[in-house]
Structure 1
Amino acid sequence: MIDWILPLALIISGLLFGVIGEKFIFKRLKLFASKKNIPGSEIIFKSLQRMPFIWFVLAGFLGAIISAPLKPDIINLLQKIITVAFLFSVTLVLARLTAGFVILYTHRTEGVTASLISNVAKTAVLVLGTLILLQTVGIQITPIVTTLGIGGIAVGLALQDTLANLFSGFYLILSKQVKTGDYVKLDSGHEGYITDITWRNTTIKEFSNNVIIVPNSKLASAIFTNYHLPVKEITLTMNVGVSYDSDLEQVERITVEVAKEVMQEIAPELTANEPYIRFHTFGDFSIDFTLYMRVSEYFDQRIGKHLFVKKLHKRYQQAGISIPFPVRDVYVQNNND
């Protein structure tokens, strides 16, 4: 029993240090990094979640195994198990770090991320780490890689649709036809913001908060409009008509002034792009023209039209400019016998 006192003490010490490291030291370091706004700290601490406790426990067990009165072959086997567990935990941390920093990089360069890229990067690190782990414990990985290559052909034939969606997702991202955050309208009539591109499908969130699930292969071959390409800013157009007795110079001036007011409210960064109108039709009841003004993105057209109609109607009333509506005279003939 005396020979087992030190191993038990090392195991208990590992557990205690693991709890202390996880509950106190790790949390204090996380809080310190959060206050200092250290770049990437959130990803690092999220990747290390629960790992300090596991590593301290593994260290305690390793010390106990070395100091325990066990046979050499049993000690060797247990050391291999501890080594495998430690290498797997390190691989998991590296996979989390890789996925987290890929998301951070794509977010900074493109605006919003697609989980497909981060998941593929995470999977690649896990596979590579597993192969290194097997090689470390003395397992030959060459036959495994060969078997996986042959088996991959059969799996590929069985999962053609899945692989088609996977590669279509890569195509959509790499070709930059769409990315998460873009506002798109499909040829089926559905429209909304792309929220994610996964290994199998693309999710589109409508204005009503409904989610549309589109397989990547279908989206890659579909006809759709991306309202964020080549830029998010678009031109809002409004058709208006004024009566024939209106002063067209006054109409143009007031209309442009109202459009500038609207732009100042919803897109102040675009006010350098002067709004303008173009008269184009002598209609049956009015002289018709179209207003052109820039807004920040496709969705801003709704609020832009709303504000423009309210403000223009008020200004036209103040200036005595009328917007005519169709009038029909009906004659009723009464035939008395």
Structure 2
Amino acid sequence: MGFIPALEEFGSAALALGVPILIGILASLWLSAIARRIAFAHGVGAKETVAGGMRLPIVLATGLLGVFLGSLIVRRFEAMQDVAFDWATFDLWLGAVGILAAFYFAYKLIFLTARAAVMRGGGDAANLLLFRKVFAACMALLAVMTALYQVGVNVGPVLASLGIAGLAVALALQDTLSNYFAGMTIAADKPFRPGDYIKLDSGQEGFVEQIGWRTTRLKPYGGMAVVVPNNKITSAIITNLSPPEQTVRVYVECGIAYEMNLYKVETAVLEVANWVLHNIEGADPTFEPLVRYHTFGESNILFRVILRAVNYDKSFLVQHEFIKALHRRFAQLGIAINYPVRQVIEIPAPPPPAEPHEPPADVI
């Protein structure tokens, strides 16, 4: 049998339940307005802000508070009921629900604060995807175990079973987990960013299109996309050809015949290099080109020309145009580049030794 409290008692309980919920709704609306202003100022979604993401946890927290306060008022009039209500069980389950809500509140607050810090630092919030999944799984597991312990469930065997199952899953997904944790390392260390041109010591190279949690996608020049597992990248030697200053030097190796005038050649090369730097798109006109002789080769005297492009992408065009212009200028000035020539001197073999003379048999 139950009981029906007096109208004033019922009103008091309803007031105790409704006021916190109303406060939570008003706080949610206030946070929504703040989230919209922040989102408009920073060009992000309203739900991606701390204020926008905390709306639901606030409503849940105030709702549970209202239920608890309402139950306290009802208990004051417990003497009016014919059968006592089991408030101890009610408190256990309300506490369990409160624990779940508290963990959810903490998860949202920590994650949203971390994402806001990453975005303020100029980082990519997408790099927190794996962190969010792992953190959410850990918080959910801890919340469920704590809630079960609150209602009197022995969680020891459950934890032991989860440990064995986790070990089996870890062994089965060893390569996948290795790639995921390598992705976390790349996200934290930032050896390169999307848009950078990188080379791996294993031979793969290209522009970084996407950095995922399991793989990184590279796009070479004129080729198909290359998908590299993250654990291969973290163990490789990486050459990042897109430094922060973006400009990159362009090296061109060449050679001229031994009989050419080296001063005349140097002057011609510098003329061509300056023309390329000031007339070709992507070349750096502020750079002073360099010419350096360095080797007496088998057929030519070898030298190196140093130019500079505004980025790695344009360096190929600068090199291409310079080689064409230099070849044309050498042809105009009669500067020769010898074909590879190797002189082979054949030394005649010595005559074979004379065979020893044997006396006739009749003489013996």
Fold match (TM-score > 0.5): yes
Structure 1 SS opposite 2:68: helix
Question: Shift of the alpha carbon at 1:229?
Answer: 7.3
Structure 1 residues 27 and 135, CA, compared in 2 at 3 Å: closer, same or farther? closer
Q: Which moved more, 1:273-282 or 1:289-298?
A: 273-282
Question: Shift of the alpha carbon at 1:191?
Answer: 2.0
Question: Shift of the alpha carbon at 1:276?
Answer: 1.7
Which aligned pairs between 1:3-42 and structure 2 lie closer than 5 A?
A: 3-23=9-29, 25-31=30-36
Question: Shift of the alpha carbon at 1:262?
Answer: 6.4
Q: Which moved more, 1:205-214 or 1:188-197?
A: 205-214
Partners of 1:266 and 1:94 lie apart in 2 by: 49
Residue of structure 2 in register with 1:119 after alignment? 130
Which aligned pairs between 1:283-302 and structure 2 lie closer than 5 A?
A: 291-302=305-316
Contact kept, 8 Å, 1:98 with 1:121, in 2: the verdict is no
Structure 2 SS opposite 1:180: coil
Residue of structure 1 in register with 2:57 after alignment? 51
Residue of structure 2 in register with 1:89 after alignment? 104
**Amino acid in structure 1 at the alignment position of 2:105:** V
Contact kept, 8 Å, 1:91 with 1:129, in 2: the verdict is no
Question: Shift of the alpha carbon at 1:267?
Answer: 5.4
Structure 1 SS opposite 2:312: coil
Tell me the C-alpha RMSD between the 2 structures: 5.2
Count of residue pairs brought into register by the alignment: 306
Contact kept, 8 Å, 2:39 with 2:49, in 1: the verdict is no
Q: Which moved more, 1:80-89 or 1:219-228?
A: 219-228
Partners of 1:49 and 1:300 lie apart in 2 by: 49
2:288 is equivalent to residue 274 of structure 1: yes
Structure 1 residues 231 and 144, CA, compared in 2 at 3 Å: closer, same or farther? farther
Structure 1 residues 113 and 54, CA, compared in 2 at 3 Å: closer, same or farther? closer
Match of 2:228 among 207, 214, 217: 214
Contact kept, 8 Å, 2:170 with 2:177, in 1: the verdict is yes
Partners of 1:34 and 1:177 lie apart in 2 by: 26
Contact kept, 8 Å, 1:195 with 1:204, in 2: the verdict is yes
Structure 1 residues 224 and 85, CA, compared in 2 at 3 Å: closer, same or farther? closer
Deviation per CA, 1:184-223: give whole Å up to 9, x if none: 245565622153140x322335678975433224445668
**Amino acid in structure 2 at the alignment position of 1:21:** A
TM-score in terms of structure 1 length: 0.63
Partners of 2:106 and 2:247 lie apart in 1 by: 44
Structure 1 residues 183 and 264, CA, compared in 2 at 3 Å: closer, same or farther? closer
Structure 1 SS opposite 2:305: strand
Residue of structure 2 in register with 1:160 after alignment? 174
Partners of 1:113 and 1:16 lie apart in 2 by: 33
Partners of 1:206 and 1:92 lie apart in 2 by: 40
Structure 1 residues 46 and 151, CA, compared in 2 at 3 Å: closer, same or farther? same
Deviation per CA, 1:252-282: give whole Å up to 9, x if none: 44334335536997658xx4x6332346899
Gaps of 5+ in 2: 79-84, 338-364
2:162 is equivalent to residue 151 of structure 1: no
2:189 is equivalent to residue 183 of structure 1: no
2:267 is equivalent to residue 261 of structure 1: no
Residue of structure 2 in register with 1:64 after alignment? 70
Question: Shift of the alpha carbon at 1:236?
Answer: 1.6
Partners of 1:184 and 1:258 lie apart in 2 by: 29
Which aligned pairs between 1:68-83 and structure 2 lie closer than 5 A?
A: 68=74, 71=85, 72-83=87-98
2:221 is equivalent to residue 204 of structure 1: no
Structure 1 residues 177 and 62, CA, compared in 2 at 3 Å: closer, same or farther? closer
**Amino acid in structure 2 at the alignment position of 1:213:** V
Contact kept, 8 Å, 1:99 with 1:122, in 2: the verdict is no
Contact kept, 8 Å, 1:65 with 1:79, in 2: the verdict is no
Partners of 2:224 and 2:13 lie apart in 1 by: 59
Contact kept, 8 Å, 2:272 with 2:322, in 1: the verdict is no
Partners of 1:13 and 1:31 lie apart in 2 by: 26
Which aligned pairs between 1:316-327 and structure 2 lie closer than 5 A?
A: none
Partners of 2:304 and 2:105 lie apart in 1 by: 63
Percent identity over the alignment is: 21
Q: Which has more radius of gyration?
A: 2
Partners of 2:71 and 2:175 lie apart in 1 by: 50
Question: Shift of the alpha carbon at 1:12?
Answer: 4.7
Contact kept, 8 Å, 1:194 with 1:205, in 2: the verdict is yes
Question: Shift of the alpha carbon at 1:59?
Answer: 3.2
Question: Shift of the alpha carbon at 1:324?
Answer: 9.7
Structure 1 residues 280 and 230, CA, compared in 2 at 3 Å: closer, same or farther? same
Partners of 1:236 and 1:113 lie apart in 2 by: 35
Structure 1 SS opposite 2:288: coil
Residue of structure 2 in register with 1:195 after alignment? 210
